[in-house]
Amino acid sequence: MSEESVIRVNFGRPMPLFPLTEVRLFPHGLLPLQIFEDRYRQMVDDVLDNYGQIAMAVYSESDPAQWEEVTPPLRPVVCIGQILQHQRLPDGRFNIALQGVCRARIHHELPVEGGRLYREAVLEPLGVIEAADETFLAATRKRLAHLLGEEPLTDLRDSEAVLEHMRNPGIPTSAILELMTLSFINDNDIRYRLLATPDPMGRARVVQYELESIAKILKQARSQRAVEWPKGCSWN
């Protein structure tokens, strides 16, 4: 994970859009992608010749095939990613690895023209790109670490790995929040809400609420499993 401010973004130039049906990339995160559609192969070719950045967008509907438009509508907030690695395969496909850089908002899309197959938009920054002041986030980090280090959340697959990152003072709390989102929150609407929230304290409140909700569910599951059920019955 690296600071959002290390990789610069020029908001004065259009940015290619790569829409998916769900939020897959947050700042500080890594996303491997296999690129096989012609329009996105062209996109990767173009950005590799320039600044190497792509805006990962999200469709407004879970099934964009339902829309008759060539360009189904998108949710306004995106995550800009930097291509860290790429591999061009013999058949023209690409394997790429994107690092999340920062949040942004679509100001307006540009017409698809001039032989360009992919969508492109003018973006504006969302929130402060520089790392949040750790002084204000220290208490939040401590609360989240305590919550994650207690049962039943210790049962979560990635809990110990996330706690290891939290014990490293060199990793900013804003990055920890993104990691916790990717590790523990699967609901796409909540993920998008977190992507669209520029304030780290606001994101921390959502993450804490979701972890507490998961803990309640796990406790209920434990209590149900502890009950001796009649033969042929189960808890669902």
Instruction: Give the DSSP letter string of 169-235.
Output: TTS-HHHHHHHHHHHH---HHHHHHHHT---HHHHHHHHHHHHHHHHHHHHHHHHHHHS-PPTT---
* Last residue within a domain, chosen from 72, 97, 125: 125
Q: pLDDT > 90: what percent of the chain?
A: 76
Name the residue type at position 158.
D
Q: What is the pLDDT of the chain when averaged over all its residues? A: 88
Cα 39 from Cα 119, distance rounded (Å): 9
* Last residue within a domain, chosen from 74, 98, 125: 125
Q: Is 121 inside a domain boundary?
A: yes
Please provide residue 204's backbone torsions phi and psi, each rounded to the nearest 5 degrees. -65, -40
Residues 149 and 74 in one domain: no
Strand partners for 99: 30, 82
Residues 113 and 145 in one domain: no
Residues 83 and 175 in one domain: no
Domain that holds residue 96: 15-125
Cα 225 from Cα 104, distance rounded (Å): 45
Residue 5 in contact with residue 101, Cβ under 8 Å? Answer: no
- Number of domains within the chain: 2
Query: What CATH number corresponds to the domain at position 111?
Result: 2.30.130.40
State the helix-helix crossing angle for 200-226 and 188-195, rounded to 10 degrees: 160
Q: For residue 230, what are the contacts with CB-CB under 8 A and spacing of at least 6?
A: none
Per-residue pLDDT at 138 exceeds 60: yes
Cα 9 from Cα 129, distance rounded (Å): 10
Residues 187 and 116 in one domain: no
Tell me the per-residue pLDDT of 90-100, one tens digit each, with 9 for 90 and over.
999 999 999 99
Please provide residue 82's backbone torsions phi and psi, each rounded to the nearest 5 degrees. -105, 130
Examine residue 64 and say whether the peptide bond preceding it is cis (omega within 30 degrees of 0). Answer: no
Residues 34 and 109 in one domain: yes
Q: What is the pLDDT of residue 4?
A: 42
Tell me the per-residue pLDDT of 181-213, one tens digit each, with 9 for 90 and over.
999 999 999 999 999 999 999 999 999 999 999
Q: Give mean pLDDT, residues 130-154.
A: 86
Q: Is 116 inside a domain boundary?
A: yes
Q: What is the pLDDT of residue 236?
A: 39
Q: What is the pLDDT of residue 70?
A: 67
Instruction: Using alpha carbons, select from 71, 70, 69 the residue that is nearest to residue 108.
Output: 71
| CB atoms inside a 10 Å sphere around CB 11 | 14
Give the CA distances from residue 165 to residues 24, 98, 162, 168, 169, in Å, rounded to whole numbers and listed in that order: 20, 20, 5, 5, 8
| pTM summary value | 0.86
Cα 139 from Cα 212, distance rounded (Å): 17
Q: Is 235 inside a domain boundary?
A: no
Least confident of 12-16, 21-25, 221-225: 221-225
Compare 131 and 105 and report the one with higher pLDDT: 105
